[in-house]
């Protein structure tokens, strides 16, 4: 069976750095941080009192108020990124066969704020008997994001949500890629979203000692590959990539950002939250993705790493890259854009895949910010180019994006310059 080629024809994003893909990309290249004290709730009694929130988002611009009230913030963000992506793709929805257009989104947690609000209300009024909002369940469930996108446009193709913690939206992209390769659809609106900045979300991650507690200096808290890192910075947002078979894109004269050429998946089978210290299956997932893409390690110019600014994770991922890429590890650029966006959890893979696409298109690599001279971890090899503090212009023929989720879920996707 001959597989279809797959290209990226539209992008959308709502992130702590900007409410569009264009704004986000500009902020990334400028090395801006999206971190600030929490505004979504009073965090005075929490160990962590800051994060990377989406700012000044006009939801009404995209979703009417009546419909928005029936959605958790996570679904709202998913829908907005999809609207942006579809608009950017230039699809003529009047003439398209909507039975051949699908939606695959990745959501790590879903409507946790809705769940919190409903359960807290019941707990405070239990003696009055059960009183729940009829939209409680439809607002909370993760899959509703893909459902809402399909209902907005009338897309009848494959439609579902993938959930694998922080690897969720990379798995969504991988699934969408495979569906298109196998001819199950012509277009897939793919991506991911997350909105877990609330008392339950922050409190839960705090209880695990996973979050940075650098409350006196939020903007410099996310510092991947620095010795003084003390945990990830929680973020929220969404990202969308409109993926399309090359044949379909050419037929309609679509603009093409890049070609998606490979995906990889693996499992650590090691620990519920920690990555394998030797990065064994991080190495495996990158190897699988490269093999799927038909590329060698020397073909990759940029790796957008998972790089969450945790002690174990940063070391194991860097070790995996060195083990797999060998001497080629010193020729490519590595960066963690989580140093700027924070960790977007289920949305991370989609936003970071978009970063790879734009790096390939524009031949520039965004930085890993917040590294200070001398703040070196003896377990890391600083002869590798972590793209510290400033974006670097270079040819980016192909880029690889890593995401690793709690539960040992690893996913990787590869993009390269489109050429006929």
3-class DSSP state of 299: helix
DSSP alpha helix (H) spans, 9-143: 21-29, 65-68, 73-89, 112-124, 136-140
Given the structure tokens 């609106």, which residue do they identify? 189
Question: Which pTM does this prediction carry?
Answer: 0.98
Q: How confident is the model at residue 373 (pLDDT cuts 50, 70, 90)?
A: very high
Alpha carbon distance 302, 279 (integer Å):
19
Is the pLDDT confidence value at 238 over 90?
yes
Active site residue 74: no
Is the pLDDT confidence value at 46 over 90?
yes
Share above pLDDT 90 across residues of the chain, in percent, rounded to a whole number = 98
Q: How high does pLDDT run on average in the chain?
A: 97
SS3 content of the chain, % helix, strand, coil (to 5): 40, 20, 40
- The ranges assigned to domains in the chain are 6-416
Q: How confident is the model at residue 420 (pLDDT cuts 50, 70, 90)?
A: confident
Q: How confident is the model at residue 280 (pLDDT cuts 50, 70, 90)?
A: very high
Q: How confident is the model at residue 245 (pLDDT cuts 50, 70, 90)?
A: very high
Per DSSP, 2 falls in state P
Q: What pLDDT score was predicted for residue 206?
A: 98
Is the pLDDT confidence value at 250 over 90?
yes
- Total Cβ atoms within 10 A of residue 251: 11
How do residues 155-210 score in pLDDT, each as one tens digit?
Answer: 999 999 999 999 999 999 999 999 999 999 999 999 999 999 999 999 999 999 99
CA dihedral sign, ordered 383, 356, 391, 378: negative
Residue 55 phi/psi, 5-degree rounding, is -120, 140
Tokens of 165: 């913690």
Alpha carbon distance 376, 74 (integer Å):
37
Alpha carbon distance 30, 18 (integer Å):
12
Active site residue 52: no
Residues 13-21: what's their mean pLDDT? 98
Pairing between β-strand 237-245 and β-strand 333-335 as defined by DSSP bridges:
unpaired
Per the residue annotation, which of 220, 248, 276, 343 is the catalytic one? Answer: 343
Per the residue annotation, which of 74, 166, 240, 412 is the catalytic one? Answer: 166
Q: What pLDDT score was predicted for residue 343?
A: 98
User: What residues contact residue 199 under an 8 Å CB cut-off, 6+ apart?
Assistant: 41, 46, 116
Category of 2 on φ-ψ map: left (φ > 0), alpha (ψ -120 to 50) or beta = beta
Q: What pLDDT score was predicted for residue 147?
A: 98
Is the pLDDT confidence value at 277 over 90?
no
How do residues 300-327 score in pLDDT, each as one tens digit?
Answer: 999 999 999 999 999 999 999 999 999 9
State the Cα angle at 292 between 368 and 173, rounded to 5°: 60
Per the residue annotation, which of 171, 220, 276, 306 is the catalytic one? Answer: 306
Active site residue 343: yes
Residues 405-412: what's their mean pLDDT? 96
Pairing between β-strand 36-37 and β-strand 50-51 as defined by DSSP bridges:
antiparallel
Q: What pLDDT score was predicted for residue 177?
A: 98
Alpha carbon distance 368, 181 (integer Å):
33
Q: In what order do the strands lie in the sheet with 187-194?
A: 159-162, 101-107, 187-194, 237-245, 6-14, 258-267, 409-416, 398-405, 302-304, 333-335
CATH match of 6-416 with 3.30.70.360: no
Residues 239-253: what's their mean pLDDT? 98
Is the pLDDT confidence value at 100 over 90?
yes
How do residues 125-155 score in pLDDT, each as one tens digit?
Answer: 999 999 999 999 999 999 999 999 999 999 9
- End-to-end Cα distance, the chain: 21
């Amino acid at each position: 069976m001959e597989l279809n080629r797959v290209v990226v024809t539209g992008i959308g994003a709502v992130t702590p750095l900007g409410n569009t893909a264009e704004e986000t990309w500009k902020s990334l290249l400028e090395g801006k941080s999206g971190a600030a004290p929490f505004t979504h709730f009073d965090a005075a009694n929490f160990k962590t009192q800051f994060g990377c929130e989406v700012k000044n988002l006009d939801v009404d611009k995209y979703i009417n108020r009546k419909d928005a009230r029936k959605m958790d913030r996570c679904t709202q963000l998913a829908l907005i990124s999809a609207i942006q992506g579809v608009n950017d793709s230039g699809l003529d929805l009047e003439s398209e066969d909507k039975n051949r257009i699908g939606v695959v989104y990745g959501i790590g947690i879903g409507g946790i704020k809705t769940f919190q609000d409903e359960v807290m209300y019941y707990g405070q009024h239990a003696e009055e008997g059960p009183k729940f909002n009829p939209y409680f369940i439809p607002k909370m469930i993760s899959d509703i994001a893909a459902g809402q996108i399909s209902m907005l446009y009338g897309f009848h193709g494959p439609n579902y949500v993938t959930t694998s913690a922080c690897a969720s939206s990379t798995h969504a992209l991988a699934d969408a890629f495979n569906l298109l390769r196998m001819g199950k659809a012509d277009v897939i609106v793919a991506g991911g979203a997350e909105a877990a900045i609330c008392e339950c979300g922050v409190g839960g991650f705090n209880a695990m000692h996973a979050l940075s507690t650098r409350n006196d200096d939020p903007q410099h808290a996310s510092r991947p590959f620095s010795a003084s890192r003390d945990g990830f910075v929680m973020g929220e947002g969404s990202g969308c990539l409109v993926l399309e078979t090359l044949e379909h894109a050419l037929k309609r004269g679509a603009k093409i950002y890049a070609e998606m050429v490979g995906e990889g998946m693996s499992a650590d089978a090691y620990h519920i939250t920690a990555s394998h210290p030797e990065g064994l299956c991080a190495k495996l997932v990158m190897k699988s993705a490269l093999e799927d893409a038909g590329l060698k390690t020397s073909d990759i110019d940029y790796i957008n790493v998972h790089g969450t600014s945790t002690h174990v994770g940063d070391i194991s991922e860097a070790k995996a890259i060195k083990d797999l890429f060998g001497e080629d590890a010193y020729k490519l650029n590595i960066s963690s854009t989580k140093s700027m966006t924070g960790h977007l959890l289920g949305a991370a893979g989609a936003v970071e895949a978009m970063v790879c696409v734009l790096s390939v298109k524009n031949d520039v690599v965004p930085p890993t910010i917040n590294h200070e001279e001398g703040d070196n971890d003896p377990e890391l090899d600083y002869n590798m180019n972590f793209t510290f503090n400033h974006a670097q212009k270079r040819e980016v023929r192909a880029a690889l994006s890593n995401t690793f989720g709690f539960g040992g879920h690893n996913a990787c996707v590869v993009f390269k310059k489109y050429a006929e």
